[in-house]
Structure 1
Amino acid sequence: MVHDTAPRSSSVLRSTSFLRLWTATTASGIATWALPFVLGLAVLSRSITAVELGVLLAARTAGFLAAVPVSGVLADRYARRQVVLWSGLTSAVAAPVLAAFVGDSLVVAAIAAAAMGAGQGACRPAFQALTAEVVEGDQRQQANAAMTLSVRVTTLVAPGLTALLALVVNTEALLLGIGALWLVAALVPPAGTGLTSPGGGNGFVADFWEGVREARRHPWFLAGLGALTAVIATGYSATGVVLPLVSRDRYDTEAVLAGALTAYTLGALAGALLIARWRPRYAGWTALAGLALYGFAPLSLLLPVHPVVVVAAYAVAGLGIELFNVPWFTATQREVEPSKLARVSSLDFLMSYGLAPVGLALIAPAISSFGAPAVLAACAVICFAAPALAALVPSSRDFGPRR
């Protein structure tokens, strides 16, 4: 049973400020996705080696992780719009440097990749906090759904378009195009309402821990973040490592891999469209139930099922992840003290996506030690159990106090 309490106000898509914000976040999302894909194409064209690709992606991840907490503090001290500007410009300037030295000087290219990762990481909490300034409270769920829709559409159509572009332009030109996208992300966003304390602060560490204390005031946030981190570290790792192996060894075709990843994106699109208007009676429990649906992905890889079942499981996982993401972002923007929102958001990104590489690094050795069936079973259990445990926290029912 649900309460259809969708806002009666005009659509957020009629707001010029939101459309500018949406355009900027979409540009940053495309640029973020495109960098590893373009570098992968460079390996195929023999412009760089697989080892160089690994170094560049590692440098990018390191830059991302280093910048996220710094940006959270800065975006709560100063105007979020300015943090977005300098973050985007950092990546925009780094892109032509990477284009000039990729395949030539690995050291300089790695520094440029780290700078691009830093720009990417710095803009995430700032964009999250800026959304709360630009969009009214009753429209934020619709706004967050619109933003995630653009990410999913990009994931669906961009690989083919980029591959076609690679037929007529080289890697350097594609990297310059990524730089242009970062310029859009830097220059297009609107000004916010200024919910910060400009120039204030008691030192970086003290300010960051103040954000941690704010997060601890919300038990639902800590519980949900723990569940999200567990699902990403296990379920995503199974997708990244085991799905290609199962597609090759069990089904003897790459079609299962391609079909599952496409189904995941289509499911996420459906989830974003659904949650844009749906207002569940218990929003938090519904979101956590959606997050638990990811458990069907490793479960489908564990069992000797028809390939259609694997594809369907990934479609369900994609649907569920957006049923979680949109209410999660909306609740964070609603419940967290506005002047500390960027720091809490940075903690979110740092814990959930920051630990994903750890899961990817550990799953292959775990499979070697315990076997794929045991590891997949453990991943499925964690994906189902972590959200269920988070739901036991009373305030998780609504992601905040009951209204």
Structure 2
Amino acid sequence: MKRRSVLLDAAFLRLWSGATASGLATWALPFVLGLAVLDRTLTAVDLGLLLAARTVGFLAAVPVAGVLADRHSRRGVVLWAGLSAGAAAPLLAAGLGRSVWLTAAAAAVAGAGQGACRPAFQALTAEVVDEDRRQQANAAMTLAVRVTTLAGPSLTALLAVFLGVRALLLGIGLLWLVAALVPGRGAGKSAADRAAARADAGAGEGSAGAVTGRSRLLTEFADGIREARRHPWFLAGLAALTAVIATGYSATGVALPLVSRDEYGTEAVLAGALTAYTVGALAGALIVARLRPRSPGRAALAGLAAYGFAPLSLVFPVHPGVVLAAYAVAGIGIELFNVPWFTATQREVAPDKLARVSSLDFLFSYGLAPVGLALIAPAIDAFGPRSVLAVCAAVCFAAPAAAALAPGARHFSREDPR
């Protein structure tokens, strides 16, 4: 019997709506704060401080949220993460242009809410959607993110004509309320069941009562790390993803604007490449919703390696169309990786440790991205853009290729089906 599409499932649509609202709110905050710089409510230094505070809050919350989402209700973590980020929005609006410390504290709280919801949404998806439909569900999730990225700037700029920055910040708060309140509970193991399983395991080791508070958080996060180590394909794929983001994304963030200005003398190449990347990612999400390759892990890693075409297109002077095509291919490839990666993690990782392993994923892959951004500009000054971009492209190609050799990488599974 043919299964009903996940898009017709009310529970998934509620989850999808909440995740989409959180993604839109997460994307919109730095954009709206950038508008505050344009109207001179903030200085560029203030903007840097707020974005740094937001990043610190994000990175601090991700591992803690992973533990809490495995220990307690995933739905509850989403609720409190959304409410926290939503409460930060009016504080940002109140402190904007008046108190940089209040706005920095509010930005940190907003970042913590953003970070906390990531692993909880990942684990909640595995509870709401049955295994056979998770790839389609993950594709729908990432499709919403790409549509937001494509349409968000123009929509926000249009709203800014009629609304001030403070009103837009309050609108972000409303989006977080949607993210907090709309998703429903999953049908997987309850928090009590997961707690009972942990207690049984701890009793066998004789250490359950020996840790409390911070030590307990660290111990439970360490359990997530041990679970990740049980899956060599996961560690190899995470290392490859981290390398690609730290180099390829950094090239996009720093080198692409410089090449667009210096080589082509126009910002159109920058705007066109970013748009081509997003359109490519949209196409990739649509393709992977139905794609079932014989070796899904290696196909996904090949898609990740395709990001190398983005920095490679900037190494030598080429027609602007080549740059746009390279970024479109990179966009397709990243979704050919993302969706199977999330789906395999939800399938292979122990359900009571899924949020912690997902938090490890976000912590390393996206948490280390600022390091790449911080290093690439000095590297370009020291060695020149072409050398740095060539190295970035080589890393993007080589890291997934190496990951494909790890045990279980062919199918993103500990058991290699023949």
User: Gaps spanning 5+ residues in structure 2: where?
Assistant: 200-207, 209-215
Q: Residue 387 in 1 paired to residue 403 in 2?
A: no
- Does the aligned pair in 1 maintain the 2:128–2:188 contact within 8 Å? no
Identity of aligned residues (%): 73
- Does the aligned pair in 2 maintain the 1:92–1:180 contact within 8 Å? yes
Structure 1 residue matching 2:98: 3-state secondary structure: coil
Partner of 1:118: 112
How far, CA to CA, are the matches of 2:72 and 2:152 in structure 1?
Answer: 34
Equivalences for 1:171-210 in 2 at 5 Å? 171-195=165-189, 196=191, 197-198=194-195, 203-210=216-223
Deviation at 1:188, TM superposition (A): 0.5
Partner of 2:80: 86
Between 361-370 and 199-208, the greater mean CA deviation after superposition = 199-208
Partner of 1:299: 312
How far, CA to CA, are the matches of 1:120 and 1:81 in structure 2?
Answer: 15
Partner of 1:348: 361
Partner of 2:62: 68
- Does the aligned pair in 2 maintain the 1:79–1:194 contact within 8 Å? no
Deviation at 1:104, TM superposition (A): 0.9
Q: Residue 327 in 1 paired to residue 340 in 2?
A: yes
Look up the equivalent residue of 2:110 and give its one-letter code. M
Look up the equivalent residue of 1:67 and give its one-letter code. A
How far, CA to CA, are the matches of 2:377 and 2:261 in structure 1?
Answer: 16
**In structure 2, which of residues 90, 93, 117 is the aligned counterpart of residue 96 of structure 1?**
90
- Does the aligned pair in 2 maintain the 1:142–1:277 contact within 8 Å? yes
Partner of 2:416: 402
- Does the aligned pair in 1 maintain the 2:23–2:145 contact within 8 Å? yes
**In structure 1, which of residues 253, 264, 267 is the aligned counterpart of residue 277 of structure 2?**
264
How far, CA to CA, are the matches of 1:298 and 1:379 in structure 2?
Answer: 7
How far, CA to CA, are the matches of 1:265 and 1:219 in structure 2?
Answer: 31
Partner of 1:3: none
Between 130-139 and 200-209, the greater mean CA deviation after superposition = 200-209
Deviation at 1:302, TM superposition (A): 0.5
Q: CA RMSD, aligned part only?
A: 1.1
**In structure 2, which of residues 223, 241, 245 is the aligned counterpart of residue 228 of structure 1?**
241
Deviation at 1:194, TM superposition (A): 4.7
User: Number of residue pairs matched?
Assistant: 397
Look up the equivalent residue of 1:119 and give its one-letter code. G
How far, CA to CA, are the matches of 1:402 and 1:28 in structure 2?
Answer: 36
How far, CA to CA, are the matches of 1:315 and 1:193 in structure 2?
Answer: 38
Deviations 1:86-142 (A, max 9, x none): 000000111100011011100010000000000000000000000000000000000
Deviations 1:20-63 (A, max 9, x none): 00000000000000000000011111110100000000000000
Deviations 1:186-234 (A, max 9, x none): 0001112353424867510110000000000000000000000000000
Look up the equivalent residue of 1:223 and give its one-letter code. A
Partner of 1:47: 41
How far, CA to CA, are the matches of 2:188 and 2:95 in structure 1?
Answer: 39
- Does the aligned pair in 2 maintain the 1:295–1:379 contact within 8 Å? yes
How far, CA to CA, are the matches of 1:129 and 1:301 in structure 2?
Answer: 38
Runs of 4+ in 1 over 6 A off after TM superposition: none
Look up the equivalent residue of 1:170 and give its one-letter code. G
- Does the aligned pair in 1 maintain the 2:50–2:104 contact within 8 Å? yes
- Does the aligned pair in 1 maintain the 2:135–2:343 contact within 8 Å? yes
User: Gaps spanning 5+ residues in structure 1: where?
Assistant: 1-6
Deviation at 1:373, TM superposition (A): 1.0
Deviation at 1:368, TM superposition (A): 1.1
How far, CA to CA, are the matches of 1:34 and 1:233 in structure 2?
Answer: 22
Partner of 1:129: 123
Deviation at 1:369, TM superposition (A): 1.2
How far, CA to CA, are the matches of 1:167 and 1:12 in structure 2?
Answer: 38
Q: Residue 145 in 1 paired to residue 158 in 2?
A: no
**In structure 2, which of residues 274, 279, 301 is the aligned counterpart of residue 288 of structure 1?**
301
Deviations 1:370-399 (A, max 9, x none): 111111011000000000000011310000
- Does the aligned pair in 2 maintain the 1:21–1:190 contact within 8 Å? yes
- Does the aligned pair in 1 maintain the 2:296–2:412 contact within 8 Å? yes
How far, CA to CA, are the matches of 2:407 and 2:95 in structure 1?
Answer: 53
Q: Residue 15 in 1 paired to residue 29 in 2?
A: no
How far, CA to CA, are the matches of 2:60 and 2:288 in structure 1?
Answer: 32
Structure 2 residue matching 1:278: 3-state secondary structure: coil
Partner of 2:287: 274
Look up the equivalent residue of 1:30 and give its one-letter code. L
Partner of 1:370: 383
How far, CA to CA, are the matches of 2:410 and 2:130 in structure 1?
Answer: 23
**In structure 2, which of residues 309, 323, 328 is the aligned counterpart of residue 310 of structure 1?**
323
